[in-house]
Amino acid sequence: MDSPKTALADPKIIDGKDISQAVKGELALAVAEAIKGKTRNPGLAVVLVGDNPASKAYVKSKIAACKAVGIESFLIELPADTAQAVVAEKVKALNLDQKVDGILVQLPLPKQISSAAILALIDPAKDVDGLCAVNAGLLLQGADGLFPCTPLGVMRLLAHHDVALAGKNAVVVGRSHLVGKPLAMMLLQENATVTICHSKTANLPEVCRQADVLVAACGQAEMVKGSWVKPGAVVIDVGINRVESSDGKGRLVGDVAYNEAYEQARLITPVPGGVGPMTVAMLLSNTLKAFNSRIG
Ligand code: NDP
């Protein structure tokens, strides 16, 4: 097989673009319902420090997505040499701003600023990225809260395809706070038997072969081979890696060797067009949730 199969009309492919559009359509209706009788729309503040082109592009797409569903956005742009104390003051002001339901600090921050220190300042009720300790703790406890967007997006893809999780073996390759750990907790919440793998895991291919649901979130281009996939497994590829291509422009690949894994899998996400589009949709969903719990 020469190129990744497209999502069009292939029932094996989990089409994140399509599903995210459907989610955004539902959200637009939910926002319209939520603001009835209220004096304002949900609001998302995005703090962008510096001029990293990728970050700027992400922020632009998040703001456009907000507009499309009726969420007001407030962009706070600060120069790359901004001191940590200035960013901290900005976040504290946003915590108090009544028009703001969600605060997103675009990562990575310039090196003079501690991301952990800044994220820790965000009011947990406005932490729409779900990265603060309070929300992480709520997730661990199986309680309600604002949880990280990419894992929420993965769960939504699985639900959309009615993937059974109770009693199934789920293997998550990666243990970051952003993806691996929260996703493992969400899968556990749905009664999967969850194994979390990382760079020190022994016999990784063998562990992956036990998975009914295999999630790759390790940031290693095409690391998960077809031979690591149990026939009939559901494969979710969170990875986004730019690799060289013959035309010199580079191309995006996931953490899974797609064409090989495709042959083994029952369902599989492509890269791009799989998990990626769901992340922004879940950010919007978290912002509406924050709005509803703050003023609902
Ligand atoms: P991190 O770099 O924070 O974490 C990577 C994890 O993978 C770590 O736990 C690491 O283990 C593990 N890992 C690295 N190498 C190996 C290996 N050889 N074998 C087994 N495990 C390994 O990455 P993120 O979680 O932030 O992101 C993961 C991927 O998902 C990246 O490709 C990223 O670009 C992508 N991503 C995509 C998003 C989307 O919207 N689609 C959103 C966020 C991320 P250890 O802890 O031992 O170091």
C-beta 270 within 6 A of ligand 1: no
Is pTM, for the whole model, over 0.85? yes
Arithmetic mean of pLDDT, 6-14? 79
Q: 36-86 pLDDT, tens per residue?
A: 999 999 999 999 999 999 999 999 999 999 999 999 999 999 999 999 999
Cis ω before 108 (30° cut-off from 0) = yes
Q: 192-232 pLDDT, tens per residue?
A: 999 999 999 999 999 999 999 999 999 999 999 999 999 99
| Mean pLDDT taken over the chain | 96
Residues 174, 240, single domain; the answer is yes
Tally of domains within the chain: 2
Residues 174, 237, single domain; the answer is yes
Kindly report the backbone phi and psi dihedral angles of residue 116, in degrees, each rounded to the nearest multiple of 5, phi listed first: -60, -40
Tell me, yes or no, whether 44 lies in a domain: yes
Q: 90-109 pLDDT, tens per residue?
A: 999 999 999 999 999 999 99
How large a percentage of the chain has pLDDT more than 90?
A: 95
Residues 96, 177, single domain; the answer is no
Quote the ligand 1 centre to 179 CA distance (angstroms).
8
Quote the ligand 1 centre to 198 CA distance (angstroms).
9
CATH number at residue 191: 3.40.50.720
Whether residue 188 is predicted with pLDDT greater than 50 in this model: the reply is yes
Residues 198, 157, single domain; the answer is yes
Residues 170, 119, single domain; the answer is no
Query: Which structural domain, as residue segments, surrounds residue 262?
Result: 148-277
Whether residue 1 is predicted with pLDDT greater than 50 in this model: the reply is no
Catalytic residue set: 62, 106, 129
How large a percentage of the chain has pLDDT more than 70?
A: 97
The per-residue pLDDT for 262 is 98
The per-residue pLDDT for 9 is 74
| Cβ proximity of 78 and 48 under 8 Å | yes
Arithmetic mean of pLDDT, 147-175? 98
Please report which residue ranges of the chain form alpha helices under DSSP H. Answer: 16-34, 53-69, 84-96, 115-119, 133-141, 149-160, 180-189, 204-208, 258-264, 276-295
CATH number at residue 60: 3.40.50.10860
C-beta 179 within 6 A of ligand 1: yes
Tell me, yes or no, whether 27 lies in a domain: no
Residues 156, 121, single domain; the answer is no
Arithmetic mean of pLDDT, 151-159? 98
Per residue in 214-229, is it b (16+ CB within 10 Å) or e — as a string?
A: bbbbbebbbbbebebb
Residues 271, 159, single domain; the answer is yes
Which single residue is written with the structure tokens 């990562």?
107
Residues 108, 193, single domain; the answer is no
The per-residue pLDDT for 2 is 40
Task: State the DSSP H helix or E strand holding residue 239, giving kind and residue range, or none if neither.
Answer: none
